[in-house]
Structure 1
Amino acid sequence: MSRYTGPRLKVMRALGCELPGLSRKSVGERDYPPGQHGQRARRKSDFGIKLMEKQKLRMNYGLTESQIQRLFREAKRAKAPTGGKLLELLERRLDNVVFRAGFAPTTVAARQLIRHKHVILNGRVVNIPSIRVAPGDAIALSERGQRIPMVRESLEQPSLAVPEWLAFNGQVAAATMTRLPEADEVPFPVEVQHVVEYYAVRL
């Protein structure tokens, strides 16, 4: 399945929550599913509930289905609880760390910054959004990247507060991961156990 490029607000309304990594927009008063019958009360099946929780992760972090399946298999092999480990692996992706540090307004924009070689990881220019950041790693923007209007606006008005697992230095537009992110530090509501149950019978 390819990466989603359609209307983002529509996705958030369908999933019933705001996903900061997908869009800065708010659903506002239209907090019901899109479409002609969106305001009608609907009873969700057990499968539907699990699917929605999985889609929250896929859409917020901008992953393809094969990518999130790969991460789930890795989380399942770990000694830690599968759900918590999956969230940790998602939060440690370089594109997400760039977004959480406030360098970009969304994960989508952060991925573009990385692809265009505006991000420096431990002193080296990188262009792979899926690189896994580890405690002690330093992330910075190139001088050219710091002059991009989108980046300057995001640094002045970040979408989210910088998480506790990142040490941010605004003077030089740099951040350092101080520890591993925890499951309860994900910036949107998600029942990760439903995601575990969804994949448990499919992988």
Structure 2
Amino acid sequence: MARYTGASCRLCRRENLKMYLKGDRCYSDKCAIERRPYPPGQHGQGRIKFSEYGVQLREKQKVKRMYGLLEAQFRLYYQRANAKKGKTGENLLQALELRLDNVAFRMGFADTRSEARQLVRHAHFRVNGKKVNIPSYQVRVGDKISVKERSKKVVSIAEALEAVDRRGFPAWVDVDKKGFEGTVKALPAREDLTLPIQEQLIVELYSK
């Protein structure tokens, strides 16, 4: 399956937003968007004026890249969110937040979502004691996510847990750092998403 394999920092610069795709590097003076706060490419420093469609497209691309999804995957999430009761935009963000790879990232078991996705695929986590190696697995309220006993010695997981205090935990998870486990205690609320996301623009784009 096709997946973007280029430089992550180019994505942040393209969206003009620090999306923390590189973990520790994003908090250092090496962060590309701090050093070159303009879009990549030959004409990156030129004046850019977006149409209404362009603004909506950039918002969709930003969220899609933030969670590391392809277009077909993202559209499927939108269709499911649109079929549910409530606000489509909030339903969409809630479903994205409850992906297993994102929950592992939010609990501090990985520095980035892409790293969490790889750890999930390699079966380093257990959900309610059972092996789950599907990054898109939808976690539910009350589910316990734990690191496999042998995987507690994995250096990247231990280092991520040590550094997670800088990022903090969202209110909807409860994490036991010493036990290498966490519980989803509530559904993610809209205010828990600290990055600037205008989900209504995505709804408007797909509604056309």
The question of 1:182 aligning with 2:189 is answered yes
Aligned partners of 2:160, 2:34: CA distance in 1, in Å? 21
Partner of 1:68: 74
State the AA in 2 paired with 1:189.
P
User: Is the 1:92–1:134 Cα contact (8 Å) retained in structure 2?
Assistant: yes
Q: Which 5+ residue runs of structure 2 have no aligned equivalent?
A: none
Aligned residues: 200
State the AA in 2 paired with 1:131.
Y
- In the TM superposition, 1:54-203 aligns within 5 A as 54-158=60-164, 160-201=167-208
The question of 1:38 aligning with 2:44 is answered yes
Task: Give the stretch that moved more between structures: 62-71 or 151-160.
Answer: 151-160
Tell me which protein shows more helix as a share of its residues: 2
Partner of 2:22: 23
Deviation at 1:34, TM superposition (A): 1.2
State the AA in 2 paired with 1:185.
D
TM-score, scaled to structure 1: 0.94
TM-score, scaled to structure 2: 0.92
Percent identical pairs in the alignment equals 40
User: Is the 1:91–1:186 Cα contact (8 Å) retained in structure 2?
Assistant: no
Q: Which 5+ residue runs of structure 1 have no aligned equivalent?
A: none
State the AA in 1 paired with 2:8.
R
Deviation at 1:144, TM superposition (A): 2.3
State the AA in 2 paired with 1:12.
C
Task: Give the stretch that moved more between structures: 89-98 or 186-195.
Answer: 186-195
Tell me the SS of whatever aligns to 1:28: helix
Aligned residues: CA RMSD: 1.3
Deviation at 1:39, TM superposition (A): 2.1
